[in-house]
Chains A and B, each alone.
Chain A
Amino acid sequence: MKIGFLVNPVAGMGGKVALKGTDGEEILRRAIELGAVPEANSRAETALAIFREAALHHQFYTAAGEMGGRLLSENGLVHKTVFEPSKKTTSDDTKKSVSLMLEAGAEAIIFAGGDGTARDVCSIVGDRIPVIGIPAGVKIHSAVYAKRPKDAGTLVKNLLLGKVKRFVLAEVMDLDEDAFRKNIVNARLYGYMRVPDDREFMQNRKSGSTGSDESESMDVAAYVVKSMNDDEIYLIGSGSTTYSILQGLGINGTLLGVDAVLNRKLAGKDLTESDIKNILSGLEKEKRHLVITVIGGQGHIFGRGNQQLSPDVIRMIPKENITVIANSSKMSALFGKNLIADTGDTVLDEELKGYIPVITGFSKKIMAKVG
């Protein structure tokens, strides 16, 4: 197998000195001044120790030195250097390395870093080939990262041994770092990457089975499509679950944007707030619908990656015409938590509170609390 291996050497340096991330050169300089030491390579090595034996006969592609080359050499793994980074590594170095790895024919990418690194990798790779993230950053909101470096090591080992049976799309989330340093948490959905499905499936020997995420998304999409009325507008929000509705309709829409569907056909793609307002105002209120999904590990239905759905837009749609869909695995992961509407308008957030049915299958809903 051909594998890309990449370390963002400065990831994680901000945390210990309370800087909340190292995105941007100025912040990194301050981090070093404050005495931060690079830790990403040692995290990556923890993972490497677990998959090293399985990796001995595989071909690695990496960037030189602290971006991966040193670690592979020290551990005796066969590799080719595809990129020589500048002395102070930046986001561009990550992107360039990854695109050269792809060119070299990498079939999977292993990277160590934080949310910023994931975003950079995602911007090049998308969901084309599988990735495994070794958590080494300050901010880890992205589901592309394994829980601990050790777990990432096990995933890589399983991948190399051909034991990964299934992949899932995982969210790449990142905070707006300027806001975060002002103690405003505002994560956004930046995309999806393909990761090994590491959920431990227990065989339920008594009462039947649950489907895969992909199968469930198709179930949910079929339900939404079937319940669509003619001559009414359906805004389809961002996210992979909602995207499967567009796939179900055979529409070439956007994964991260908001699209509009009328009579089962695309009526607007990657819409801005004003586009949406224009489209909605052409129809009576009760004919306006919105389909959204739950984004991120905290259960946001508004306020994460769908900023086009502004408070004004949401107010234009009757509350009962807002449909929330999600995979049941997502709902299980949120077990015990409320859903969150963070529209930026506290009055509206208050209005959106209460119980809503979340559609999790063709004929299945879970009552969830927006709180």
Chain B
Amino acid sequence: MMDGLSRMKKFHQARWNEPIIYQLSEPGQRGVLVPGPCCDCVSKEEVLGTLPAHMVRKDKANLPEIAQLQLVRHYNHLSQGNIGVDGNIDIGQGTCTMKYSPKVNERLAGSPKLLHMHPLQPAKTAQGVLEIIHKTGELFKSISGLDVFSVQPGGGSHGVLALASIVRAYWRDKGEEEKRDEVITTLFSHPADAAVPIVKGYKVIIIQPDSEGYPDIEAFKAALSDRTAAIFFTNPEDTGIFNVRIKEFTKLAHEKGVLCCYDQANANGLLGITRTAEADFDMSFFNLHKTFSAPHGCGGPATGMVAAKKELRPYMPVPMVEYSPEKGYYLDFDLPKSCGKIKSFWGVIPVVLKSYSWIMSLGADGLREVSRVAILNNNYCMKKILAIKGASMSFPHHPSRIEQVRYSWEKLKQDTGFGTADVQRCIPDFGTHYWSSHEPFVIPEPFTIEPSESYSKTDIDDYCAVLAEISRMCYEEPEAVKNAPQNSTVHRIDDDYFDDPAKYSITWRSYNRKYKGYFEPK
């Protein structure tokens, strides 16, 4: 058998030169037909006659006209220009916890018993789905050590929004909403921990790391005051470093009455080892689409599940899903001090169901094994990457990492002039990828690798061999690097078209107005 690198070097992604769907349009074609009138009790003229004439659309919307096979083929081709967890060794999107989403959970979530549930149905017809939501909360009692839960937020940032909204509702109730207008976070917490509280009207103070890579506790002491409403800490941080003094931070905060919010987006290495409760946080959120295996769907739908101590229940988003022997499972809207609603209806239930099923198939031992292997994979991968010419890690004198590492190509850049953006352009030629999200950009030429428990040793070996090969190319074959990618669905994209209002086109109609035929593929 060919070795992994040799196979990956021969990779070529499907390249259909797929037209824009409008270019496939042919007048009169239809993809699906819709039913006609349900009966002939009223005529079409009578029906349309009910509408005020000026509210009737005069033209037809300019949508493509395309028969079903041609439509399916188009999207089939597009999907082949997309790789996903199922198509590649997806360890290059660090902080995202890319992992396998078991197919049985897709089958369960695709059941008509979920698909066709209307959110406003009477609770007695929705006992199954309410039970799933409630029992997911019950599981998280043990996973987080906290008491009350909401699955409403539609993603990680939305989870932060829910926490910040709870913080505001709490201080309003305590009569200190005006005074407590600051939130403290750390530089290597997820960027949403700084960005989102600002939307809720907070001023955000950022703590930088000390030379060890830990948040500087002296700076934290200086920042903390009776104006602090809450702290938002990610742990381990996006560097992969676990803040070992975390309990000192929460102790100092609690002494000032401050609420402590734990961003558990990076929890994949912590299950069964340490929890929100042990670190003495009051609230946290978990990404069900990351740690708890629901697929990412090209960027959602997702769930940022909120967990809190029972003292904070009055401020949780409405409604809460509750159970009583008399009523069964039901939605409780009776939270007069609630922070309000965060999302339409009750949350992204298919994601909740997939995570529930995943946890129930692993149990306590299985979840602990998830984290143990995530840690093992990461440390194994780290040693391999650090052996690659031109690669190094952030905070090199702090070699201990949990489930991911932020690395640097600084040396590669110094030696060859090629940096992380160049590596990123090369890597699709090997049938895999890594991404560019590494805020804040203080680690030079950054890349972040998170080999979750789904990946085998061979997967990690192959991925690291690809990185080593690209490093070699940077040193020895600069021309090849400049012209990459060559084997991807498309070649180098001209990014001049994205920043200038005169040049960008966000829709096909805008393209046609500005350029019709100008840069159309020939």
Contacts and interface: CB of A to CB of B under 8 A. Distances in A.
B342 interface: no
B95 A364 contact: no
B158 to A, nearest CB: 12
Interface in A266-301: none
A204 B439 contact: yes
B46 to A, nearest CB: 51
A156 B218 CA distance: 45
B375 interface: no
Contacts of B441: 202, 332
Contact of A363 (B202, B417, B446, B496): B202
Interface in B400-447: 417, 419-421, 435-442, 446
A200 interface: yes
Contacts of A363: 198, 202-204
Contacts of A366: 187, 205-206, 208
Interface in B174-208: 187, 190-192, 194-195, 198, 202-208
A368 interface: yes
A210 B499 contact: no
Nearest to B447: A202
B222 A206 contact: no
B205 A165 contact: no
Contacts of B417: 150
Contacts of A357: 205, 223
Interface in B200-243: 202-208, 211, 216, 218-220, 222-223
A332 B96 CA distance: 23
A39 to B, nearest CB: 22
A86 interface: no
Nearest to A334: B442
A163 B499 CA distance: 12
B157 interface: yes
Contacts of A203: 436
B482 to A, nearest CB: 13
Interface in A347-371: 354-355, 357, 362-369
Interface footprint category on B: 35 or more
* A150, A207, A210, A332, most chain B CB atoms within 10 A: A207
Nearest to A328: B440
Most A CB within 10 A of own CB, among B187, B194, B438, B439: B439
A227 to B, nearest CB: 10
Interface residues of A, number: 27
A204 B496 contact: no
Contacts of A208: 191-192, 195
A327 to B, nearest CB: 13
Contacts of B499: 165
A367 B192 contact: no
Nearest to B420: A202
A364 B205 CA distance: 6
A154 to B, nearest CB: 9
B390 to A, nearest CB: 16
A204 B437 contact: yes
A55 B39 CA distance: 75
Contacts of B439: 204, 207, 210
Nearest to B440: A332
A370 B17 CA distance: 57
B442 A355 contact: no
B437 A206 contact: yes
A202 B149 CA distance: 36
A205 B223 contact: no
Nearest to B496: A163
A336 interface: yes
Contacts of A207: 157, 190-192, 195, 437, 439
Contact of B206 (A165, A205, A355, A364): A364
Interface in A128-174: 150, 163, 165
A362 B439 CA distance: 19
A200 B219 contact: no
A363 to B, nearest CB: 5
Contacts of B223: 355, 357, 367
B218 A355 contact: yes
Contacts of A204: 191, 436-439
B219 A369 contact: yes
A368 B206 CA distance: 9
Nearest to A208: B195
Interface string B437-474: 11111100010000000000000000000000000000
Contacts of A355: 218-219, 222-223
A125 B364 CA distance: 69
Contacts of A165: 496, 499-500
19 contacts: A165-B496, A200-B419, A200-B421, A202-B441, A203-B436, A204-B437, A207-B190, A208-B191, A208-B195, A332-B440, A332-B441, A354-B222, A355-B223, A363-B202, A364-B194, A364-B203, A365-B203, A365-B206, A367-B205
Closest 6 pairs (CB-CB, A-B)? A355-B222, A335-B442, A367-B219, A202-B436, A204-B437, A207-B191
Given A202-B438, A363-B202, 6 more contacts: A336-B442, A364-B198, A364-B203, A366-B208, A367-B207, A367-B219
